[in-house]
Structure 1
Amino acid sequence: AQKYCRKNHTDLATVTNMTDVKKLNQTAKQRPAWIGLKKYTNSKETWHWSLPGLSFIKEEAYWSYGEPNNHESELCVFLRENLTWVDDYQYCTMDQRFICYNTNPTQKFHLIETPLNWTNAQRYCRENHTDLISGRQQLDQLNQSLYSETREKLHDQNIPRVFIGLFSDMWAWSDESSFSFRYWDPQSDRDKSCAVLTNKGMWSTDGCDQEKHFICYD
């Protein structure tokens, strides 16, 4: 499929944002269908911000002491009560509170008190706001504008951590672009190495040697 797309078009489909997701779902009538996302298990995981087009800058990281300390293939990040960052993999599938970002100038940050796992939190923020809070600039704005208001909530010892939009994985696009956008189906597994568009309009995985329809882009 990759060879065909590169010969006759540009490459297998790369998806950069929710607008692309809608276009992809309108185009792909036969599913499941391959897209251009593949897991490279021999590669070192790379940190990404959930907000499309925003690059992770190592020098701007604000890790807690000793972090990041996990070495799994897929990680998510929590904000502690002192606004430093902690990476983890076990808690990513557990329901936690999270912070959404909105481009609305009157209220940019929303602490969502209904716990969701990281993937569902990301989807909630994208559907109801803009995205999970992403980037050092947004987190610094949170510190300046909402820290005093949110501090007591973040100190809640029953749920002491909240998700932010920083994650790490070993997935890469076929055209070698660095887009961090992911749209995984939270009900599906990510154990296989190639990504497919499902009937639900989200992404799952399957073995790369399986024959399926596929989506190219120009």
Structure 2
Amino acid sequence: MTWSENQRVSDITSGIENGWIGLFRDPELCWSDGSSFYQGSVPFGSVTVLCGYTSLYREMKWMLMRRQVKLPSVCYSLQGWLILPVCPLRHYYFVDKPLTWSEAQTYCRQKYTDLVTIENAAVMSQIQELVSSSHHNTGFWIGLYSTINWKWSDGLAGSGANYRNWSSKGHVFAMNRFCVYSKHSAWFTRDCGALQYFVCQNTTGIQENRQFVRVTTPMNWSTAQAYCRENYADLVTVTSADENQQVWKLLAHLGFVWLGLFRDPELYWSDGSSFSWSNFIPFGTLMGWQTVLCAFTSVKEEMQWRLKSCEARLPFVCYSPHVTRQVVKLRIELDDSSVDLNNPAVKEELLKKLQARLEEDGVSGAALKWRQQPDGKVFHKEEDEGNPPAC
């Protein structure tokens, strides 16, 4: 059904509160091992794939949740059941030593792996608990940083492209403020979705015959950009104080005016992880004229994130990956009984072969080493368990 058809149905059923339409779906509930599904109490949501979980605190009723969420799990085999807890993927370390962000990054990379990456609320809670246990309430660095790279919609670079007329307080950072508007000829940042008047230009780049055109239909920044590109050349680029005054005079009586200046979020984690979850404080942070800012947080401010100069000195949190250690007993049968398995060269060669075999089987990243016995040896010859000597 199209939008128009939906409107027709709405008109036909005017006065009727509810009515069936032909849209449906099958339950499509499946057990992991292929068993048939026959009962359960599950509230369905709008997500395309959900996974089932239960809880003692909810009287073992079944619920659905996104499959990305980490929970303990219960496995079964023919012999019985096995409960598997959620194992931590990383270890975190609070370093109560004030350093600049770059110095903290270097410290973490030398001693551990990197500055902490916080990809969800669960990790944030772990960090909060860690820092709280150290009785530290002020700010500390995390591994996030932002490059502030303002660009003109028409792509102008070089001469004139760096002209700015920020308000006296400088531009303000906030997670949703990526577009620039002019008010009384001073520039401010704002949510790109706000509706405002704007100015187009009839040519791109710096040209003597470039003309500015005012548009008095309020639009968001992206729509204004598309409108200017379709009907003129682009949103206005301001390259000098004189041009800034020209733009302002066009719409001085109308208040806020979109300019063609914008920036991409450009938020990065130190370890290269993709940025997909944030906990930035809802109001802005003054950025002044800086081009790179680094993120910090504090227990006192409920772990909300802020940006500040990377040259400030703060404590910080590092991480290292969780390493699982497993001891495996190895039995080796020798064709040549003269080979000494405790010879360092022989042990080294065996490790290389074992490592290669693991990689062939798809196991990568495993670090192998021999475990010495109390007598300093790794290998011991098995006692002969054959027939006992005759009496």
TM range (shorter): 0.3 to 0.5
- Structure of larger gyration radius: 2
TM-score (norm 2): 0.28
TM-score (norm 1): 0.47
| Higher RCO (CA-CA < 8 Å; seq separation 6+) | 1
